[in-house]
């Protein structure tokens, strides 16, 4: 019973986190970190050590984003940037490398039947989170693609409730893109610093 409530709290905080991000509210990070901790508590007793380890990575990215939105150029609530062209190859390379590593982990140490799909969606989530940390507008396109993939993956594995929840996330991400797009149209999108996609 407690585990079920923890899952409900986890998905609830996840939805609130996305909603706050659509509004460019820095509180999306502490809520997101709380979400990571909740799922960490759920996964560890269940023996899902790989999933638990991923929550730690998400938590690290959450701290990175919180710091950037507090101290970096992203601190300005009206700041939104386009993804620098020179950052795109690095983002793709990071996503592919992380996917390869996760596929190896899942096929070597688990009995996952959907290792590639699981790894690719997880890697995509991390890339999208980094882009969100930088307030790059295109983060929402990546999130939408990842969440649609999660819907399909959840249906394929019979997790209908989770599929419905990720469908909700797709809607929230579309709302996020529209909200950030309105800011772009009202005051223009700032040119992002030409940097490589390495956390700073």
> What is residue 104's predicted lDDT score, i.e. its pLDDT?
93
Answer for the pair 115, 106: CB distance below 8 angstroms, yes or no: yes
More confident residue, 188 or 112: 112
Q: What does the pLDDT look like over 63-119, one tens digit per residue?
A: 999 999 998 888 887 889 999 999 999 999 999 999 999 899 888 887 878 888 888
More confident residue, 93 or 196: 93
Q: Rounded to an integer, what distance in angstroms lies between the CA atom of residue 137 and that of residue 184?
A: 9
> What is residue 2's predicted lDDT score, i.e. its pLDDT?
53
> What is residue 4's predicted lDDT score, i.e. its pLDDT?
66
Q: Tell me the mean pLDDT in the region 166-173.
A: 92
> What is residue 184's predicted lDDT score, i.e. its pLDDT?
80
Answer for the pair 64, 76: CB distance below 8 angstroms, yes or no: no
Q: What is the pTM of this model?
A: 0.85
* Residues found in the chain: 200
- Percentage of the chain beyond pLDDT 70 is 87
Q: What is the average pLDDT score of the chain?
A: 85
> What is residue 185's predicted lDDT score, i.e. its pLDDT?
80
CB atoms under 10 Å from CB of 102, counted, come to 22
State the residue for tokens 């190896």. 104
Q: What does the pLDDT look like over 151-164, one tens digit per residue?
A: 988 888 787 877 88
Answer for the pair 143, 166: CB distance below 8 angstroms, yes or no: no
């Amino acid at each position: 019973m407690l585990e079920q409530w923890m899952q409900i709290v986890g998905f609830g905080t996840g939805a609130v986190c996305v909603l706050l991000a659509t509004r460019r509210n820095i509180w999306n990070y502490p809520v997101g970190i709380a979400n990571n901790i909740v799922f960490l508590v759920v996964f560890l007793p269940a023996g899902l050590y790989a999933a638990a380890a991923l929550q730690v990575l998400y938590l690290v990215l959450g701290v990175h984003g919180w710091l950037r939105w507090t101290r970096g150029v992203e601190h300005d609530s009206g700041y939104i940037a386009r993804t620098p062209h020179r950052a795109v190859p690095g983002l793709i390379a990071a996503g592919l490398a992380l996917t390869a590593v996760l596929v190896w982990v899942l096929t070597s140490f688990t009995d996952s039947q959907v290792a590639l799909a699981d790894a690719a969606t997880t890697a995509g989530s991390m890339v999208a989170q980094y882009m969100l940390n930088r307030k790059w507008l295109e983060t929402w396109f990546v999130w939408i693609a990842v969440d649609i993939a999660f819907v399909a993956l959840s249906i394929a594995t019979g997790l209908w409730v989770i599929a419905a929840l990720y469908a909700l996330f797709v809607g929230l991400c579309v709302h996020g893109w529209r909200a950030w797009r309105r800011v772009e149209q009202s005051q223009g999108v700032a040119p992002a610093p030409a940097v490589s996609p390495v956390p700073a």
